[in-house]
């Protein structure tokens, strides 16, 4: 298991991590606000979660490239918890307790669950997130903001869904200023990926930073020289702008510890802990596959880091945090090398929110939408679908099923469907050709090629029933170390009927002898070889 470099190793990668951290902070800012809005929480709670996810989880986690923050996959759970509890402060207590439960998961070594997810499902999850980014950000790219920029669920709070939002954006008045900003930004981002120099100072210039600067400048020019193209305030970033330092302190809310006797708080805490843990494990597993160096994250340590992050976030008034694919993939794509990028992105979030909130509120959402659309395209490239198809249907079908299921449900349900279909293929492959039959004159060999379970009953019965009368039958179990009772009963029944069909039955193998004591018929047994 590869450990993430610490201390001096951070200094060795700072040239790559510094610009990457700026890109991630630009991606994270609107998502923190959007997830909070979609969750029914104060906007500042999303920023708190983003900052805590970067600093606390970033310092404790051993994932070199994963970035944590408020997760779109938890919006429905958070919204229901906030509405169902007596106060927002009671909800914060549930977040703190959820963090403690996650720390418990880490000591129980529950991180191993991530290893049971097939790679086809993980890549399906990445492709689905990419498609969701594109579909969800297209409306923002043309100035239609009917849904918060951080809401990735198929069903929306306004009763619509991802598809209906795309249709609605075409019916609504298009904000041509937003379209110009998004179009130019997208063209630049795709061009910069190819034209970015490999040497010299320009190689450190992040494309998304240029896009944001262009968006702000373009809108200021629109306001002064082409008012019809000016992007309305409702289509800009909306960071809370307190007038004084004391006003900032008032935005921080503390948990209501008196609500600890409320059973609903514990139910909400357990739900958040389980779902956040699963999302984090899946995200970290996916980020490990995106990592060019193929480093492997300690999943149990990740649960510990996520638990500490959620405890601190809840204590400071923030919503739950998880490892997040969107931020993490942007981090990978920006060329980050270590956790320094994750930590620095939170530092930039904190500094900008405290020092230049008014400047942040000049950023058009269409510019940020262009950044997210470009990220989504890289996650869901057509070449990925072609590659999976080339690996065979057993890989392609679970991959596509995961993509479709996540698009029309949510992350965890889609993953569960993908795993179920993948498991179906595993069972199907194990059923196929488990029993072979070889005819040689008056001799017939029925050979079990692997352990026999109840799913192999039909194949074994068919093989034995097809043997003509008057043969010498060798039932070869030497390749097995287990034959379940259902198949033993089939062998017993065949052997008992053998004298009536002039058959001579020989049993060979079973190296552990597990089958021998359960076969009741008087058979001739060959010595195991």
Q: Where are the chain's structural domains?
A: 12-148+161-202+211-230+243-408, 435-526
pLDDT for the residue 396:
93
In this model, does residue 54 exceed pLDDT 50?
yes
How many C-beta neighbours within 10 Å does residue 391 have? 12
pLDDT for the residue 194:
87
pLDDT for the residue 515:
55
- CA-to-CA distance for 145 and 491, rounded, in angstroms? 67
Angle between helices 365-379 and 14-39 (to 10 degrees): 110
Residue linked to tokens 């498609």 = 131
Nearby residues of 202 by Cβ (< 8 Å), 6 or more positions away: 196
- CA-to-CA distance for 464 and 462, rounded, in angstroms? 6
Q: What is the mean pLDDT of residues 328-334?
A: 92
Element (DSSP H or E) covering residue 256: none
Task: Output 450 or 513, whichever has higher pLDDT.
Answer: 450
Does this model's pTM top 0.75? My answer is yes
In this model, does residue 529 exceed pLDDT 60?
no
pLDDT for the residue 4:
44
Do 125 and 329 form a contact (C-beta atoms < 8 A)?
no
Which CATH superfamily groups domain 435-526? STAS domain (3.30.750.24)
Q: How far is CA 184 from CA 104, 173, 189, 285, in A?
A: 49, 20, 9, 34
Q: How far is CA 422 from CA 26, 283, 287, 393, 415, in A?
A: 37, 19, 21, 11, 10
Q: What is the mean pLDDT of residues 36-55?
A: 92
Q: Calculate the average pLDDT of the chain.
A: 87
Question: Of all residues in the chain, what percent carry a pLDDT higher than 70?
Answer: 93
- In terms of DSSP H, where are the helices of 145-260? 162-171, 176-195, 207-225, 245-251
For 250-308, the pLDDT digits (tens) are: 888 999 999 999 999 999 999 999 999 999 999 999 999 999 988 999 999 999 999 99
**525 band by pLDDT with thresholds 50, 70 and 90:** very low
Question: Of all residues in the chain, what percent carry a pLDDT higher than 90?
Answer: 53
For residues 204, 210, 213 and 216, what is the CA-based torsion angle, rounded to 10 degrees? -160
- CA-to-CA distance for 287 and 4, rounded, in angstroms? 14
Query: Nearest to residue 275, comparing CAs of 241, 320, 216?
Result: 320
Q: What is the mean pLDDT of residues 159-166?
A: 76
Do 50 and 32 form a contact (C-beta atoms < 8 A)?
yes
For 6-25, the pLDDT digits (tens) are: 555 566 788 889 999 999 99
**454 band by pLDDT with thresholds 50, 70 and 90:** confident
- CA-to-CA distance for 320 and 75, rounded, in angstroms? 9
In this model, does residue 526 exceed pLDDT 50?
no
Q: What is the mean pLDDT of residues 156-176?
A: 76
Strand partners, 507: 475, 525
Three-state SS annotation for 4-31 = CCCCHHHHHCHHHHHHHHHHHHHHHHHH
For residues 144, 148, 152 and 153, what is the CA-based torsion angle, rounded to 10 degrees? -100
Structure tokens that stand for 304 in this block: 């510990």
- As to burial, measured by CB atoms within 10 angstroms (0-12 exposed, 13-18 middle, 19+ buried), residue 244 is exposed
Q: How far is CA 410 from CA 52, 74, 128, 161, 516, in A?
A: 25, 10, 10, 12, 50
For 317-326, the pLDDT digits (tens) are: 999 999 999 9
For 200-219, the pLDDT digits (tens) are: 777 778 889 999 999 999 99
Q: What is the mean pLDDT of residues 371-390?
A: 91
């Amino acid at each position: 298991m590869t450990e993430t470099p610490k201390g001096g190793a951070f200094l060795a990668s700072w040239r790559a991590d510094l610009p990457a951290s700026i890109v991630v902070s630009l991606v994270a800012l609107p998502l923190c606000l959007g997830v909070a809005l979609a969750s029914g929480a104060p906007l500042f709670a999303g920023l708190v979660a983003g900052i805590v996810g970067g600093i606390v989880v970033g310092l404790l986690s051993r994932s070199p490239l994963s970035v944590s923050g408020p997760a779109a996959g938890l919006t429905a759970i958070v919204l229901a918890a906030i509405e169902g509890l007596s106060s927002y402060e009671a909800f914060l207590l549930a977040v703190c307790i959820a963090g403690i439960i996650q720390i418990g998961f880490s000591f129980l070594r529950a991180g191993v669950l991530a290893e049971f997810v097939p790679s086809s499902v993980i890549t399906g999850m990445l492709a689905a997130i990419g498609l969701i980014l594109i579909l969800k950000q297209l409306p923002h790219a043309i100035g239609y903001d009917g849904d918060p920029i951080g809401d990735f669920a198929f069903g929306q709070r306004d009763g619509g869904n991802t598809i209906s939002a795309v249709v609605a954006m075409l019916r609504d008045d298009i904000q041509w200023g937003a379209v110009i900003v998004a179009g130019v930004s997208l063209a630049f981002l795709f061009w910069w990926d190819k034209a970015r120099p490999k040497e010299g100072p320009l190689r450190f210039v992040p494309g998304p930073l240029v896009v944001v600067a262009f968006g702000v400048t373009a809108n200021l020019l629109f306001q002064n020289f082409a008012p019809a193209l000016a992007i309305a305030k409702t289509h800009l970033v909306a960071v809370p702008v307190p007038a004084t330092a004391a006003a900032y302190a008032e935005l921080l809310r503390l948990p209501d510890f008196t609500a600890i006797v409320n059973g609903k708080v514990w139910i909400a805490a357990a739900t958040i802990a389980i779902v956040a843990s699963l999302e984090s494990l899946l995200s970290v597993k996916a980020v490990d596959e995106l990592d060019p160096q193929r480093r492997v994250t300690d999943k149990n340590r990740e649960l510990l880091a996520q638990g500490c992050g959620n405890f601190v976030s809840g204590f400071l008034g923030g919503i739950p945090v998880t490892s997040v694919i969107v931020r993490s993939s942007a981090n990978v794509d920006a060329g980050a090398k270590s956790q320094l990028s994750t930590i620095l992105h939170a530092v930039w979030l904190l500094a900008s929110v405290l020092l230049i909130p008014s400047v942040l509120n000049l950023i058009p959402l269409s510019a940020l939408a262009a950044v997210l659309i470009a990220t989504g395209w890289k996650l869901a490239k057509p070449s990925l679908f072609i590659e999976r198809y080339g690996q065979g249907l057993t890989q392609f079908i679970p991959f596509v099923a995961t993509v479709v299921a996540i698009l029309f449900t949510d992350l965890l349900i889609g993953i569960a469907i993908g795993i179920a279909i993948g498991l179906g293929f595993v069972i199907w492959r194990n059923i196929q050709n488990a029993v072979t039959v070889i005819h040689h004159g008056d001799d017939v060999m029925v050979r079990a090629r692997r352990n026999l379970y109840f799913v192999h009953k039909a194949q074994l019965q068919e093989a034995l029933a097809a043997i003509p009368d008057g043969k010498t039958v060798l039932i070869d179990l030497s390749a097995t170390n287990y034959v379940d009772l259902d198949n033993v009963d089939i062998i017993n029944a065949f052997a008992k009927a053998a004298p009536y069909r002039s058959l001579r039955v020989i049993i060979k193998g079973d190296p552990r002898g597990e089958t021998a004591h359960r076969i009741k018929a008087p058979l001739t047994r060959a010595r195991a070889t």
